[in-house]
Amino acid sequence: MGEETEGLALVIGGGSGIGAALVEAHRGQGTSVVTWDIAGDPDVVCDVADPEAVDQAVEETQRRWGIPSRVTVTAGVGHGGMLVDVSPDDFDRIMAVNARGPLLCLRGWARVLQAERRPASLVAVSSVSARLVDRSMGLYCASKAALSMLVRVAAAEWGPHGLRVNAVAPGVTRTPMLGPVATSRVETSPWLAAVSERTALGRLGEADDIARVILAVHGMDWVTGQVVECDGGLALRSPIDPLGAVAGRPKEVDGA
C-alpha cells in the first residue's frame, strides 16, 4: 500500500477546466496531487458514472499513493434542452455523471477514511443552477440541485467521523463545458457580453477563480454542509426586469 500522506490531494476531473486549475493551485502550495479523469493524461482513468470504475480507482489510488486528505470532485457534463424535448436517456446520463458520480466518489473515500479513522475535507463542484431556474437547462439544474443536497446529507452523516463535506457553486465560468464560446472574446460574443454585464463584478468567471475558492473551503476547518456560491455576483440579478416583464416570456400565451 502507498504511504498515507497527510498532504495528498485528489482531484476527480482534473484533466481540464476547473479541475486542471485546481491541480495547479494545489501544486503551487507544494501539495502532492493525484488526478482522475477520462480525458487528458490523468494518473487514473476513471469514468465516475461507472460504479466499478470508481471502486477500482479508489483501490488503485490508495495502493499507489495513499489516502488523500483533500478530495475534490469537479467532474461533470453540461446539457441543454427544453423539458418537453429531453429524453429519459438524457435524464439518466446527466444524473449519472453530475449527481450519482460525485456521490460514488465521495462515499468511496468516506468508507476508506472512516475505516482508517482519518479526518478529511471533501468538496464537490455544484452550480448556481442548483437553485436558479434556467430555461432549457432543466436537467442540468436538477442534477446540480441533487448534488447540493447530497453534499448536505453527507456532511450530517459523516461529520461524526471527522469528515467535512462541502460544495462550491460556480456561475458561468470559462471552461470547455461552454463549448466553442469558451475561447471567444467577450467583445465578439453577444452572449458572453450579456453574462459579463449581468455579473456584479463585471466579467466572466475563470477556472482559477473557482480553484482558489475550493482551496479556501478545504482550509475552513469549522465549515461543513455548505454550498459556497462563487459566481462574481451573477445570481444577484432577477430575471424580472424593472417594468415587471419576465425575461424570455413568449409574446403571446393562450389562457389556460
So what's the pLDDT on residue 191? 73
Which residues is 205 bridged to in the sheet? 173
Q: Domain for residue 188, yes or no?
A: no
Under 8 Å between Cβ of 138 and 86: yes
So what's the pLDDT on residue 145? 97
Rounded-to-integer distance, Cα 166 and Cα 127, Å: 12
Domain count for the chain, please give it.
1
Q: Domain for residue 113, yes or no?
A: yes
Under 8 Å between Cβ of 146 and 131: no
So what's the pLDDT on residue 1? 38
What is the number of helices (H) and of strands (E) in the chain?
A: 7, 9
Contacts of 40 (CB under 8 A, 6+ apart): 14, 15, 16, 20
Under 8 Å between Cβ of 21 and 210: yes
Q: Domain for residue 250, yes or no?
A: no
So what's the pLDDT on residue 4? 39
Does an H or E element contain 20, and which?
A: helix 17-28
The beta strand positions in 25-146, using DSSP E, are: 33-37, 44-45, 70-73, 120-125
Rounded-to-integer distance, Cα 41 and Cα 19, Å: 13
Q: Residue 149 is part of a domain; what is its CATH number?
A: 3.40.50.720
Rounded-to-integer distance, Cα 112 and Cα 196, Å: 42
Local structure of 253: helix, strand or coil: coil
Nearest CA-CA partner of 43 in 31, 33, 51: 33
So what's the pLDDT on residue 237? 80
> Each residue's pLDDT tens digit in the chain (256 positions)?
344 345 899 999 999 899 999 999 999 999 999 999 998 899 999 999 999 999 999 999 999 999 999 999 998 888 878 889 999 999 999 999 999 999 999 999 999 999 999 999 999 999 999 998 878 888 999 999 999 999 999 999 999 999 999 999 998 888 776 665 555 566 567 778 887 888 889 888 899 999 999 999 999 999 999 999 999 998 888 665 555 555 555 555 555 5
Q: Domain for residue 255, yes or no?
A: no
* Sign of the dihedral through C-alpha 206, 208, 211, 212: negative
Q: Domain for residue 100, yes or no?
A: yes
So what's the pLDDT on residue 186? 63
Q: Domain for residue 117, yes or no?
A: yes
Provide the domain limits for residue 210: 9-178+205-234
Q: Domain for residue 106, yes or no?
A: yes
So what's the pLDDT on residue 184? 57
Q: Which three cell numbers stand for residue 62?
A: 490508495
Region of residue 172 (left: phi > 0; alpha: psi -120 to 50; beta: else)? beta
Q: Domain for residue 55, yes or no?
A: yes
**C-alpha pair distances (Å), 32 with each of 27, 148, 199:** 6, 27, 34
Under 8 Å between Cβ of 124 and 151: yes
